[in-house]
Amino acid sequence: MTGISGKRILLVIGGGIAAYKTLDLIRRLRERGASVRAVMTPAAKNFVTPLSVASLTGSKVFEDLFSLTDEAEMGHIELSRDADLLVVAPATADLLAKMAHGLADDLASTLLLATDKKILVAPAMNLRMWLAPATLRNVARLREDGVIFVGPDDGEMACGEYGPGRMSEPLTIAAAIATALSGETAIPLPPGLARPQGVLSGRRVVITSGPTHEPIDPVRFIANRSSGKQGHAIARAAAASGADVVLISGPVALPDPANVAAIHVETAREMLKAVEASLPADIFIAAAAVADWRVAEASPEKIKKDGKALPPLALVENPDILATVAKREALRPSLVIGFAAETENLLVHAKEKLLRKGCDMIIANDVGEGSGVMGGENNSVTLLTGGGMESWPNMSKDEVAGRLVTKLASMLDGGRG
């Protein structure tokens, strides 16, 4: 995690039980060479003490907008700009609402409004609060404004309920901070990048592409033969048609297409996190060949060939990204599209996938031996929707992408299937 060393993080701690995890986040960031200045909301002090935060950051904690001493030492505007990144953890429903509306009635909200730096938020709240229409509106607005989200995760909550709302784990937040500092985030395209007018103007499209790598140990991994060519071609075609495109790619040998926000991930779990952090979107296209399994416990050290028994590789199932997005209650994209790469009984399996994964379209392609699809330039696809199916002749992956974009635009405009 090289991106963090030497960086200055301004950490806003909101008032929620997850604030105890923020103490560990501070340690993780400092271990990685970052300096951390912390601001606490009045509510945050009910959960962790300024003394703990100051001890861990190794510097003074800022709390009060109207503190004469603080303002004399460092004015709040300077505080908000003298950082490489602002991080809000935990980001409560209240803080998100203030940010979405530009309120500035205490030090934390004022800093967040006054900054000229990127802001990353790690929400944490009760699941009903996270799924409340007001919070969903605020989150959508903040994403449009370029605020980067990490989490929340699903899980058991302090209030005894189960669902989305848990703050991401400190290591995950630290990884998201490293990504944000390296510029690879699902922020909207920077102003000035070409966004041509086309059938997808004003639409946001999130696309996964390439394989995933699932580590066995620090040098070995499980992977597959996906080249990412079809997914990247779709990202290019969607951007050329005016869409705001987020391309979430596993390890591939392809350059990032122009005019898309590219996020690079390795594992299925990282890919799912990046996809969820990129919502809301109008269209989600799962073109990645996600590994179905990962090694249950990757070894932290290189596994040695010591002449004894072969090392067992216990596998566990990866999350199904397509099904997870298709079955979301909140922020489900209007169109969720998957691929079915099969070597036999193509259409039977594709139809079964359409139903099982709950998506709006499955694009079936034959990747059997001799088809040349995996890694090749051409593809023959059959599109299946709830309403029927259509087969396209063999054509280049770029042509498939172009036709697909036109098709999806017309489906969004009302002509489904």
C-alpha 26/C-alpha 314 separation (Å) is: 34
Give yes or no for residue 286 binding ligand C5P (CB under 6 A).
Answer: yes
* Residues in contact with ligand C5P, shown as a per-residue x/- string from 203 to 222 under the rule CB under 6 A: -----x--------------
Give yes or no for residue 19 binding ligand C5P (CB under 6 A).
Answer: no
Q: Which stretch binds ligand C5P (CB under 6 A): 10-18, 187-195, 220-228, 318-326?
A: 318-326
Give yes or no for residue 340 binding ligand C5P (CB under 6 A).
Answer: yes
- Residue with smaller CB distance to ligand C5P, 182 or 345: 345
Pairing, β 85-91 against β 8-13: parallel
Q: How far is the CB of 306 from ligand C5P (least distance, A)?
A: 33
Please report where in the chains the tokens 């770029």 appear, as a residue.
Answer: 398
Give yes or no for residue 335 binding ligand C5P (CB under 6 A).
Answer: no
Residue type, position 213, single letter: H
Residue type, position 226, single letter: S
| Cβ contact 71:37 at 8 Å | no
- Residue with smaller CB distance to ligand C5P, 92 or 267: 267
- Residue with smaller CB distance to ligand C5P, 205 or 268: 268
Catalytic residue among 159, 194, 315, 348: 159
Please provide the size of the chain in residues. 417
| Cβ contact 126:157 at 8 Å | yes
359 catalytic per annotation? no
Task: Count the Cβ atoms, other than its own, within 10 Å of residue 190.
Answer: 9
Task: Choose which of 338, 346, 364, 402 interacts with ligand C5P (CB under 6 A).
Answer: 338
- Coil, strand, or helix at residue 270? helix
Q: How far is the CB of 19 from ligand C5P (least distance, A)?
A: 33
C-alpha 403/C-alpha 407 separation (Å) is: 6
Give yes or no for residue 318 binding ligand C5P (CB under 6 A).
Answer: yes
Give the total of residues touching ligand C5P (CB under 6 A): 16
Element (H, E) at 179: helix 170-181
C-alpha 78/C-alpha 106 separation (Å) is: 16
Give yes or no for residue 230 binding ligand C5P (CB under 6 A).
Answer: no
Q: How far is the CB of 275 from ligand C5P (least distance, A)?
A: 8
- Residue with smaller CB distance to ligand C5P, 240 or 340: 340
Pairing, β 335-342 against β 361-366: parallel
C-alpha 60/C-alpha 122 separation (Å) is: 23
Closest CA to 56 of 11, 116, 109, 86: 11
Give yes or no for residue 320 binding ligand C5P (CB under 6 A).
Answer: yes
Task: Choose which of 11, 88, 139, 322 interacts with ligand C5P (CB under 6 A).
Answer: 322
Residue 224, C-beta contacts closer than 8 angstroms, at least 6 positions apart: 211, 289, 291
Give yes or no for residue 281 binding ligand C5P (CB under 6 A).
Answer: no
- Residue with smaller CB distance to ligand C5P, 123 or 338: 338
Q: How far is the CB of 99 from ligand C5P (least distance, A)?
A: 31
| Cβ contact 338:322 at 8 Å | yes
Task: Count the Cβ atoms, other than its own, within 10 Å of residue 368.
Answer: 14
Closest CA to 173 of 156, 148, 154, 155: 148
* Residues in contact with ligand C5P, shown as a per-residue x/- string from 231 to 270 under the rule CB under 6 A: -------------------------------------x--
Task: Count the Cβ atoms, other than its own, within 10 Å of residue 355.
Answer: 10
Q: How far is the CB of 130 from ligand C5P (least distance, A)?
A: 23
- Residue with smaller CB distance to ligand C5P, 20 or 293: 293
Give yes or no for residue 379 binding ligand C5P (CB under 6 A).
Answer: no
Active site residues: 159
What is the binding site for ligand C5P (CB under 6 A)? 208, 268, 286-288, 290, 292, 318, 320-322, 338-341, 353
